[in-house]
Amino acid sequence: MALETARVPTANGARYLQQLCKHWSHKLDVQLSDNGGIVRFPAAVATMKADSDALTVSVEAKDDETLQRMKGVVASHLDRFAFKEAPLPFEWEKG
C-alpha cells in the first residue's frame, strides 16, 4: 500500500471536510465526525482531520499510480469548497 499525508494550513478545515464528506456520501462509504472524516473510494481511502489551523489529509491506495491520481481528486475537490482560499497549499509527504 502507498500512503501520503499533507497538512494544509487553513482555519476552515472542519467546514471543508464536512462539505467534502457530505458531497461524497451520496456515492461512497463515508464516516464523518465533527473534526474528522474517512472516505472509502473503490481504490483508495482518504482520511481527514481538522484542527484550529489546518486540515490534515492522508490518502492510501494500492499502488503509487492510484495514489497520485487520488491525491489530485481530493485536492481538487477541497479547492472547490475552499474557493476563497484556493489553491490550498498541499505539501504531500510519504509515510
Integer CA distances (angstroms), 45 to 20, 37, 38, 56, 85, in order: 14, 10, 7, 14, 25
- The residue among 46, 56, 45, 44 whose CA lies nearest residue 14 is 56
CB-based contact 59:46 (threshold 8 Å): yes
Please give the domain boundaries of the chain with CATH numbers for all domains. Answer: 2-85 (3.30.310.50)
* Joined grid coordinates for residue 10: 487553513
pLDDT at residue 36 greater than cutoff 90: yes
Per-residue pLDDT tens digits for 37-70: 999 999 999 999 999 999 999 999 999 999 999 9
pLDDT bucket at 95, cuts 50 / 70 / 90: confident
